[in-house]
A and B are shown apart, each in its own frame.
Chain A
Amino acid sequence: MTSTETIRAIQENIARVIKGKPHVIEMCLVALLARGHLLLEDVPGVGKTTLAHSLARSLDCSFKRIQFTSDLLPSDIVGVSIFNRQKQAFEFIPGPIFANIVLADEINRTTPKTQSSLLEAMSEAQISFDNKTYPLNPPFMVIATQNPAEYHGTFPLPESQLDRFLMRLRIGYPAPEEEKKVLERASSLHPAEELLPLLTAPEVVQLQDQVDKIFMEESLTEYLLSIVQSTRQSELLSLGVSTRGALALSRAAKALALVRGRTYCLPDDIKELAPIVLSHRIMVARQTGLHQRSFEQAERIIRDLVDTIPVPV
Chain B
Amino acid sequence: MLLSQALHLTSMLLASASFIGLTLGAGLPEWLAAVTGATLIAVLLRNMGMKPVDRLTTQMPVSAVGWNLIVLGGFVGFWIDLLWVSGDLLPAGLHFLMILMVIKLFNLRLRRDYLHLYAISLVAMLASGSLTTDLWFFPIFSIYLLAGVWTLLLFQLTKTSEVSGDVWMSAHIRHTSHEENHRVSPRLFWIANGLALGAFLITVVIFFTIPRVNAGIYQKGFGENLRMSGFSDKVNLGAIGSIKRDPSIVMRVELPRSPLHDARPLYIRGVSFDQYDGKVWTNQLSYRRSLIEESPGTFTFRGKRAVSRSQLGEAMHQKILLEPLDTPVLFAAPFIESVTGLFPSLFFDATGAVYLPFPSSSRIEYTVVSRATVLVPADLGSEPGPYPEWVVRQYLQLPLQSDRITALAGEVTQKHYRPYEKATAIQTYLTSQYRYSLDAPLAEQHQPLEEFLFERKTGYCEHYATAMVIMLRTVGVPARLVTGFMATEWNEYGHYYVVRQQDAHAWVEVYLPHSGWIRMDPTPTEDNPPAGGPVWKVLGLIVDNIKLQWNRLFVQYSAADQLAVVRELKAEGMSVRNKALDSMTLLFGAFLTVLSGIVPHNVSQVRIGVLGELLGVAVIGLAVLFWLRRSRPWVARSLWEKGRGHELVIAQYYRRMRTYLTGQGFSNSTAIAPLELVEITHARWREAYTAVASITEVYCRTRFGHLPLTPEDLKHTEDQLRHLLELRKPQA
Contact = CB atoms under 8 A, between A and B. Distances in A.
Pairing of A with B: yes
Interface of A: 215, 217-218, 220, 262-268, 270-271, 306-311, 313
B670 A264 contact: no
A186 B203 CA distance: 88
Contacts of A262: 705
B705 A263 contact: yes
18 contacts: A215-B704, A217-B706, A218-B163, A220-B704, A264-B701, A264-B707, A266-B700, A266-B704, A268-B673, A268-B674, A270-B673, A307-B669, A309-B671, A310-B671, A311-B672, A313-B655, A313-B670, A313-B703
A258 B724 CA distance: 31
B651 interface: yes
Given A307-B671, A308-B671, A311-B672, 9 more contacts: A263-B705, A264-B700, A264-B707, A266-B673, A268-B673, A270-B673, A310-B671, A313-B654, A313-B703
B606 interface: no
B657 to A, nearest CB: 11
B509 to A, nearest CB: 86
B651 A313 contact: yes
B676 interface: yes
A218 B707 CA distance: 14
A217 B675 CA distance: 16
Given A217-B706, A306-B671, A307-B671, A268 B676 contact: yes
Contacts of B651: 313
A215 B672 contact: no
Given A215-B705, A215-B706, A313-B651, A267 B669 contact: no
Instruction: Give chain B's interface residue range (CB within 8 Å of chain A).
Output: 20 to 34
Contacts of A311: 670-674
B707 A266 contact: no
B675 A268 contact: yes
Nearest to A262: B705
B703 A217 contact: yes
Nearest to B678: A268
Contacts of A271: 671, 673, 676
Contacts of B672: 311
Contacts of B703: 217, 313
A56 to B, nearest CB: 31
A268 B671 CA distance: 10
Contacts of B674: 266-268, 311
A91 to B, nearest CB: 52
B676 A264 contact: no
Contacts of A215: 704-706
| Most chain B CB inside 10 Å of its own CB: which residue of A220, A306, A313 | A313
Top-9 shortest CB links A-B: A264-B705, A310-B670, A267-B673, A268-B675, A268-B673, A217-B704, A271-B673, A307-B671, A311-B673
A308 B706 CA distance: 26
Interface in B675-715: 675-676, 700-701, 703-707
Nearest to A217: B704
A307 B670 CA distance: 9
A121 B707 CA distance: 39
Among A264, A306, A307, A308, the most chain B Cβ lie within 10 Å of the Cβ of A264
A266 B704 CA distance: 6
Contacts of B704: 215, 217, 220, 264-267
Contacts of B700: 264, 266
Nearest to B703: A217
A266 B671 CA distance: 13
Contacts of B706: 215, 217, 264
Contacts of B701: 264
Interface string B261-281: 000000000000000000000
A265 B707 CA distance: 12
B542 to A, nearest CB: 57
Nearest to A308: B671
A262 B702 CA distance: 12
Residue among B673, B674, B706 with max Cβ neighbours from chain A (10 Å): B673
A193 to B, nearest CB: 37
B703 to A, nearest CB: 7
Interface string B633-675: 0000000000000000001001100100000000001111111
B271 to A, nearest CB: 80
Contacts of B670: 310-311, 313
Interface string B160-180: 000100000000000000000
A224 B644 CA distance: 23
A263 B700 CA distance: 11
A54 B221 CA distance: 96
A215 to B, nearest CB: 6
B50 to A, nearest CB: 35
B163, B651, B671, most chain A CB atoms within 10 A: B671
A270 B674 CA distance: 12
A268 to B, nearest CB: 4
A265 to B, nearest CB: 6
A267 B670 CA distance: 12
Nearest to A306: B671
A218 B644 CA distance: 14
A264 B708 CA distance: 13
A283 B58 CA distance: 55
